[in-house]
C-alpha cells in the first residue's frame, strides 16, 4: 500500500488504521507537547488527510482509534493546505486589514457552531496553533478539539486545561462556561494583529497566571 513518491517509487505506509482505509506516512508535519501530526492518505477517496463535525469552519474529523500497543489516541482529520494560523501569519507579515477581519469572523462562526450545538461544546484550547487555514481561498477552520468538553444544560465545566497565555481567569479557577473560548478568541486576534504571543513578557507560567487573574493586559497592547 502507498502513494506515489516524488522519485516515482511507492512511498510505504508506516501505519494503517483498523479499517484499512487510512494509511500514515512517516512525514512529520508538526508536533506539540502531547501530539504529533503526520501526513496520511485516504485510500478510498484518494485524498490526503491528517462522528464528522459538519461545519465549514471546523476541521472535519474522519476517524478516531486507540492504539493499545503504542498507547496513543489517533485522529484522522482533513488537511488545511497552509498549516496553522500562527505559522501562516509569521510567513505573511504584510496582511491587509480586510484579511485580518475575515479570519476572526470565520473563527467566531466556528465557535458559534460549537457553543450552540446540542449539547454545547467548549473548545478550551483555542489559540493560533489550533486554527488552520487554506491560504489560497482564505478559509479558516478551528481544529484540535482534543481538550474540548461536552457540557450539559448548565454549560459549566471545572477542569483546568489549555494554553496558559490564552486561558481566561475563570478557567484557572476551574469554574467556567463556553465564554472562556471567547476570551481565547480575543487573544488570538491579539496575536494576529501584533504578531506577538499574549504575555510574551512573562518568562514562566506563574507570572502569566498572576497577570491574567489580576486583569493585567498583555504588555504589547500598550505599544503605539
Active-site residue list: 144
Tell me how far apart the alpha carbons of residues 127 and 199 are, in angstroms, rounded to a whole number.
13
Q: For cell 476551574, name the residue.
A: 174
Per DSSP, what are the bridge partners of residue 2? 12
Tell me how far apart the alpha carbons of residues 190 and 192 are, in angstroms, rounded to a whole number.
6
Contact 56, 107 (CB under 8 A): no
Q: Which triple of cell numbers denotes residue 198?
A: 499574549
Strands of 22-137 (E only): list them: 22-31, 36-42, 47-49, 61-67, 72-77, 120-122, 131-134
Tell me how far apart the alpha carbons of residues 104 and 185 are, in angstroms, rounded to a whole number.
8
Amino acid at each position: 500500500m502507498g502513494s506515489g513518491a516524488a522519485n516515482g517509487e511507492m512511498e510505504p505506509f508506516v501505519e494503517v488504521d483498523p479499517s484499512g482505509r487510512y494509511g500514515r506516512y512517516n512525514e512529520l508535519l508538526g508536533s506539540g507537547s502531547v501530539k504529533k501530526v503526520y501526513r496520511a492518505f485516504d485510500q478510498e477517496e484518494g485524498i490526503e488527510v491528517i462522528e464528522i463535525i459538519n461545519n465549514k469552519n471546523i476541521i472535519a474529523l474522519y476517524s478516531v482509534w486507540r492504539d493499545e500497543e503504542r498507547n496513543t489516541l489517533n485522529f484522522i482529520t482533513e488537511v488545511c493546505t497552509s498549516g496553522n494560523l500562527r505559522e501562516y501569519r509569521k510567513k505573511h507579515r504584510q496582511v491587509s486589514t480586510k484579511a485580518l477581519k475575515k479570519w476572526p469572523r470565520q473563527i467566531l462562526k466556528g465557535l458559534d457552531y460549537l457553543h450552540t450545538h446540542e449539547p454545547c461544546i467548549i473548545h478550551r484550547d483555542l489559540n493560533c496553533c489550533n486554527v488552520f487555514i487554506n491560504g489560497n481561498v482564505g478559509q479558516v477552520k478551528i481544529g484540535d478539539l482534543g481538550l474540548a468538553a461536552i457540557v450539559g444544560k448548565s454549560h459549566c465545566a471545572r477542569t483546568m486545561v489549555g494554553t496558559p497565555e490564552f486561558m481566561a481567569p475563570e478557567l484557572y479557577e476551574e469554574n467556567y462556561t463556553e465564554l472562556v473560548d471567547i476570551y481565547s478568541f480575543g487573544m488570538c486576534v491579539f496575536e494576529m494583529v501584533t504578531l506577538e504571543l499574549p504575555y510574551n513578557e512573562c518568562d514562566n507560567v506563574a507570572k502569566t497566571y498572576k497577570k491574567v487573574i489580576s486583569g493585567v493586559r498583555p504588555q504589547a497592547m500598550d505599544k503605539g
